[in-house]
Structure 1
Amino acid sequence: MTPINKPLLSFNQKLLLSVVALFAAFSLCFIGYQYQREKEFKVELLNTKLQDYNARLHEEINDSSNIENALNGFIKRHKLKDLRTTVITLDGKVIFDNQKKDYNHIGNHLERPEIKMALESGTGYSVRRTSETTGVSYFYSATLYDDYIIRSALPYNVELITSLKADYHFVWFTIFITIILTIAFSRFTRKFGMSIARLREFTVRAHRDEPLGMDMEKTFPHNELGEISQHIIKIYKRLRETKEALYIEREKLITHLQSSHEGLGVFNAEKKEILVNSLFTQYSNLISDVNLQSAEEVFSIPELQKITEFINNAPAKPGNQERRLSLNIEKNGRVFIVECIIFQDLSFEVSINDVTMEEEQHRMKRQLTQNIAHELKTPVSSIQGYLETIVNNPNLPKDKFNTFIERCYAQSNRLTRLLRDISVLTRIDEASNMIDMEKVEVNSLVQNIINEVSLELEMRNISVHNLLKKDMYIRGNASLIYSIFRNLMDNSISYAGTDISITIKCFREDETFYYFSFSDTGVGVSPEHLNRLFERFYRVDKGRSRKIGGTGLGLAIVKNSILIHGGNISAKNNKGGGLEFVFTLAKN
């Protein structure tokens, strides 16, 4: 077994490192964002505190007539350490500063950032700006009122820096959560990565067509990916088994084709040989005037020109065009049927059948039917003899006269039935493709037959059980379907005996066929006769058959009519006595 190369890092290690890196990047961004927010919050809190102080100063000024005395008095009462308070007019002139006695000489403050903000939005602040007056860095907070601006400032010293620092508890919390999630995800990725590793091992072995081993399915963890992987392996194993089965079936097919009784050649779209059996080579050489060196040369035979043109003109895409062509070829005293079938990929199959024997058998059957028709002169001669006797003996006794007339009538009926049955068989044999098809309801047709023979049934004390369901439709020839059930009925009435019952039923159906049973409880038939019941003019009891007046063609008509409708028929004796015919009829 070829070893499987393992990468430096397994899939779960790569996945874990990727997720940890992603978590770390997220945590750093979160910490930076939260740190900035915390600082801004502390600054805003300090600004709010100074704004509140400014508001209280403003109230004190409004309640006093002397601004400077009022401010000094309020600052003394509410003294904040190192707090600097400044009052500035709207044009930027300083009119009070508690830390500068000569504040009248302080420069204009309109360009100070906090003053500009206050003039624009009502309040403003500035973090760590160095005063041009004192040279000390302050945190400024200014508030705009109707006639002036009050500004408070605290020195930006160590104490203020400490108070403005962000709270670092959220940093440790974020690191703790990241570690917990990393541990949890490492456990998850370990199982996930194990499934991926096993799946990778499976795909490599499958690609190399190596055996998987009996425990491959059991090595996957019990998670969703493990279950999916197990299903994939099961599907692969089924496909492998199917492939092996198809290979076996292919070998069987090739063996069957080599031993087939028809010549078969399979070619690709370029007319190159894929599979050719020996009979194909033999038959193609019988058709050809020269010996063929290869199977591809069959397309140069003049007799197969239509097949070659049919293949050359085949459309690239399947459509409504016919993709099957059949030819009859007579050559060197033989008759061949050559058939070509084109598949969707434009590969095709050419089959050659030697039907010389079948054609000869058909010819003999037709000749036999003609000879039999010729033999029908016997009842005609009988009728003629009886009539001549009557004509030549005017004084013939009345009882003999009636006897001769009855015999003439019986022979004429027999002759009529013979001619009718022979006509039906000839039509089936020679013009089966010309028979009209229509929608036939079987139950009502059988019921009509029962009504037609009701007198004969009553005379023989025969009961008929029609168990066919209503609305059972077959697309076929109504006359031939009638012949099937009528001849079976006549056969039972004539030969099964008296005091019996007849049962007609459909015991099964599928998408294509109805399966019928026509049985009676009569005398049955000896086993040696069962396989010959459907032969033309075959009689189990020749003397009794002629006495009854049967033609010997009824069951032959039944069989051929069923074959025309895509079915088959067989006969068997019932265990309880009687004969049963089992047959199928195609629905369409």
Structure 2
Amino acid sequence: MKLSYKHKIFFTFLIIFALYSFVLVFFQQKEEKKFKTEALENSLANYTQIIHNYVQQEHLLKNNLEISKVNHLADLLPKDIRITLMARDGKVLYDNDVQNIQKLENHLNRPEIKQTLYLRDRGINIRKSVSTQHEYMYYAQLFDNYFVRVALPYNIQTQKFFKTDNAFIYLTIIIFILVLILLNAVANRFNKSIVQLKLLVSQVKEGKHLSAQVTFQDDDLGEVGEELQEIFQQKLESEKQLKQEQEKIIFHFQHVEEGVGIFNSDNSVIYYNSQLIQYINLLTDQPSLELKEIFKQDFFRPVTEFLSKTDENLNHTSITIYKEDKVWLIEAIKFKDNSFEIQIKDITKAERTRLIKQEMSNNITHELRTPVTSIRAYLETLNEQTLPLDKQQLFINKAYQQSIRLSDLVEDIGLISKLEEAKEQFKKEPVSIYQLIQEVRINLSDRLIANKIQLNLLVDKALTLQGNYTLLFSVFQNLMENSINYGGENIEIIIDNYKEDESYLYFSYSDTGKGLDEKYFNRLFERFYRAQEGRTRNNGGTGLGLSIVKNAIQLHGGEIFIKKNIPSGLTFLFTLKKS
């Protein structure tokens, strides 16, 4: 049977206190008996001294021993005391309990006499008298040439004298009982705290939330229990938060586009998402559901070599894989315990964007170089040569025109970059389309008149759209500038919102200009693309106008298409989302 903490504590302290009480009583009784024996010995010693003094004073041994005088002395001493005087050789000279001392044998062999001779001081013994057949406690002492021996009957009264006082034992028992009661109370209090601690540990072990009923006693152990309860509560909260974070990470891994897998140092799987197995099957020649297959592939060898290295400073590597029309990025991250993470990303779109940006950067450099070179050439000529005034004015005008072209180019580059990377900066507001086109007409009126271009506006004057004014202005201005630059003279421009439904406004922009061969249509909205390079530069275009148009329309939730007019000219069909 397993004892409870209460019983263990109770019985442990009970045994300890019982042993302590037993030892205490034992030594107390021993000391008390020793004290009483010494007291009785002192009394008997005093009696022998009194007798010796009386014998010396009365010179009893020099004269014939007067029995009457010795008896008189015996009457003065306590009742039942036995007095014996004997010579140095053991001969009995007097004994108040024996009438005829002549019959007494020599007492030299008596134990108390032997002890007295051995110690040369005194001797004590308890035994039965040979002569009287009574049990006595004898005390003998040697004086000059004779022994004085006194004895008291070792009867019940004498035995009681040697018995210890039981009051101390009773007091010890009472204290023992009180200690047991107090110990039981302490054990009960301690046991309650232990039970609560066990309940607390049981709840923690089973992963349960801590019960509000787990209360502790107001003592040191209770304080420890409360501290543990708080620590365990914090642990549970931390585990809960950790679990929530793990669920978030798993949820994230399941919904990211990247394939993610976490592996032990022996390549066994800890976790992976569905994208990883899909991407591995796209990268390997033989489809498989085993993730370990990737470690056998030749293209994966740089990663396996990285994972086999023990250099703590190398914890990340990546490789790029080109397969068919896809570009893949494989990254490996090694942790301190030699477990690792594999990520596979489809970076085809990002790589294409990078190439487009690189191409755009090259185009921008090329486009900027032309006006900058021209301006520099004109200014160097003016600075280094003395030219006629009309020639100087011509060069200044040409430099001015190139500076305008450069300014337009920089402005268009800034706008298209903003369209691609900071769309959220374009705030939308109610815009009157009719009023906006009229402002574009006013802005380009000089050029329209110079090229004899007629603008026919078939747009409802009450038409309003929730959009960005600047971008919508750029749409119509770039389309009209495109007609002015490349359509020729004596042409007509028609702008019509030919249809409207619950979600979209439908527009057509057409001109009767020179038009363009359909083979250029697929690339017409590309940045810096020129279907007729030389002519475009001569007319001052930046090569970004139609690209800005397309991006601005897409930002407004619409699409744009182009078709060829018969007999000549172009038509742009586009939609704009109402909100």
Give the TM-score normalised by structure 2.
0.57
The counterpart of 1:164, out of the listed 147, 162, 165, is 162
User: 2 CA distance for matches of 1:149 and 1:307?
Assistant: 116
Counterpart residue number, 1:386: 379
Task: Spell out, residue by residue over 1:273-317, the C-alpha distance to the aligned partner (whole angstroms, 9 max, x if none).
Answer: 121112222333343343233112221122222433444455xxx
The counterpart of 2:43, out of the listed 42, 49, 64, is 49
Counterpart residue number, 2:273: 277
- 1:264/1:352 contact within 8 Å kept: yes
User: 2 CA distance for matches of 1:240 and 1:89?
Assistant: 98
Match for 2:247: what amino acid?
A: E
CA separation of 1:212/1:362 partners in 2, compared to 1, >3 Å: closer, same or farther? closer
Match for 1:36: what amino acid?
A: K
Give the deviation of 1:337 after TM superposition: 3.6
User: 2 CA distance for matches of 1:114 and 1:200?
Assistant: 73
Match for 2:315: what amino acid?
A: R
Counterpart residue number, 1:443: none
Counterpart residue number, 1:352: 344
Q: What SS does the aligned partner of 2:317 have?
A: strand
Give the deviation of 1:270 after TM superposition: 3.0
User: 2 CA distance for matches of 1:120 and 1:528?
Assistant: 134
**1:98 partnered with 2:95:** yes
Task: Spell out, residue by residue over 1:458-495, the C-alpha distance to the aligned partner (whole angstroms, 9 max, x if none).
Answer: xxxxxxxxxxxxxxxxxxxxxxxxxxxxxxxxxxxxxx
CA separation of 1:83/1:180 partners in 2, compared to 1, >3 Å: closer, same or farther? same
Counterpart residue number, 1:505: none
Task: Spell out, residue by residue over 1:169-226, the C-alpha distance to the aligned partner (whole angstroms, 9 max, x if none).
Answer: 1122122222222223333333333333344344445444566654x135x4444434
CA separation of 1:45/1:149 partners in 2, compared to 1, >3 Å: closer, same or farther? same
User: 2 CA distance for matches of 1:248 and 1:528?
Assistant: 46
User: 2 CA distance for matches of 1:121 and 1:383?
Assistant: 144
Query: How do 1:371-382 and structure 2 match up within 5 A?
Result: 371-374=363-366, 375-376=368-369, 378-382=371-375
User: 2 CA distance for matches of 1:192 and 1:231?
Assistant: 17
Give the deviation of 1:40 after TM superposition: 2.3
- 1:327/1:337 contact within 8 Å kept: yes
Match for 2:182: what amino acid?
A: A
Query: How do 1:495-574 and structure 2 match up within 5 A?
Result: none
CA separation of 1:241/1:98 partners in 2, compared to 1, >3 Å: closer, same or farther? same
- 1:280/1:352 contact within 8 Å kept: yes
Please identify, of 106-115 and 346-355, the stretch whose mean Cα deviation from structure 2 is larger.
106-115
**1:27 partnered with 2:2:** no
User: 2 CA distance for matches of 1:253 and 1:343?
Assistant: 17
- 2:138/2:149 contact within 8 Å kept: yes
Give the deviation of 1:371 after TM superposition: 4.3
Counterpart residue number, 1:339: 331
Counterpart residue number, 1:217: 214
- 1:97/1:103 contact within 8 Å kept: no
Which of these two proteins has the greater Rg computed from alpha carbons?
2
Give the deviation of 1:167 after TM superposition: 1.4
The counterpart of 1:179, out of the listed 169, 177, 180, is 177
CA separation of 1:133/1:293 partners in 2, compared to 1, >3 Å: closer, same or farther? same
CA separation of 1:197/1:383 partners in 2, compared to 1, >3 Å: closer, same or farther? closer
CA separation of 1:190/1:293 partners in 2, compared to 1, >3 Å: closer, same or farther? closer
Match for 2:319: what amino acid?
A: N
User: 1 CA distance for matches of 2:59 and 2:286?
Assistant: 139
Counterpart residue number, 2:152: 154
Q: What SS does the aligned partner of 1:275 have?
A: strand
User: 2 CA distance for matches of 1:290 and 1:245?
Assistant: 41
Q: What SS does the aligned partner of 1:67 have?
A: coil
Match for 1:322: what amino acid?
A: N
- 1:87/1:151 contact within 8 Å kept: yes
User: 2 CA distance for matches of 1:344 and 1:394?
Assistant: 76
User: 1 CA distance for matches of 2:295 and 2:85?
Assistant: 115
- 1:141/1:153 contact within 8 Å kept: yes
Give the deviation of 1:61 after TM superposition: 4.8
- 1:94/1:104 contact within 8 Å kept: no
- 2:333/2:341 contact within 8 Å kept: yes
Counterpart residue number, 2:525: none
Give the deviation of 1:259 after TM superposition: 0.9
**1:301 partnered with 2:297:** yes
CA separation of 1:392/1:37 partners in 2, compared to 1, >3 Å: closer, same or farther? closer
Counterpart residue number, 1:4: none
Counterpart residue number, 1:80: 78
Q: What SS does the aligned partner of 2:24 have?
A: helix
CA separation of 1:241/1:321 partners in 2, compared to 1, >3 Å: closer, same or farther? closer
Task: Spell out, residue by residue over 1:415-466, the C-alpha distance to the aligned partner (whole angstroms, 9 max, x if none).
Answer: xxx9xxxxxxxxxxxxxxxxxxxxxxxxxxxxxxxxxxxxxxxxxxxxxxxx
- 1:61/1:71 contact within 8 Å kept: no
Q: What SS does the aligned partner of 1:181 have?
A: helix
- 1:51/1:141 contact within 8 Å kept: yes
**1:268 partnered with 2:260:** no
User: 1 CA distance for matches of 2:256 and 2:66?
Assistant: 124
- 2:85/2:95 contact within 8 Å kept: no
User: 2 CA distance for matches of 1:327 and 1:71?
Assistant: 134
Counterpart residue number, 1:573: none
**1:322 partnered with 2:316:** no
- 1:328/1:335 contact within 8 Å kept: no
Give the deviation of 1:229 after TM superposition: 3.3
CA separation of 1:330/1:202 partners in 2, compared to 1, >3 Å: closer, same or farther? closer
Match for 1:82: what amino acid?
A: D
CA separation of 1:355/1:110 partners in 2, compared to 1, >3 Å: closer, same or farther? farther
User: 2 CA distance for matches of 1:383 and 1:53?
Assistant: 149
Counterpart residue number, 2:119: 120
User: 2 CA distance for matches of 1:148 and 1:292?
Assistant: 125
Q: What SS does the aligned partner of 2:287 have?
A: coil
Give the TM-score normalised by structure 1.
0.56
Unaligned runs of 5+ in 1: 1-6, 315-319, 419-525, 530-588
**1:107 partnered with 2:100:** no
Task: Spell out, residue by residue over 1:335-366, the C-alpha distance to the aligned partner (whole angstroms, 9 max, x if none).
Answer: 44433333344432222233444444444444
Give the deviation of 1:255 after TM superposition: 1.2
Match for 1:385: what amino acid?
A: Y
- 1:94/1:109 contact within 8 Å kept: yes
User: 1 CA distance for matches of 2:326 and 2:120?
Assistant: 114
- 1:326/1:337 contact within 8 Å kept: no
- 2:320/2:330 contact within 8 Å kept: yes
Task: Spell out, residue by residue over 1:520-568, the C-alpha distance to the aligned partner (whole angstroms, 9 max, x if none).
Answer: xxxxxx9999xxxxxxxxxxxxxxxxxxxxxxxxxxxxxxxxxxxxxxx
Please identify, of 157-166 and 187-196, the stretch whose mean Cα deviation from structure 2 is larger.
187-196
Counterpart residue number, 1:195: 193
Unaligned runs of 5+ in 2: 411-467, 472-579
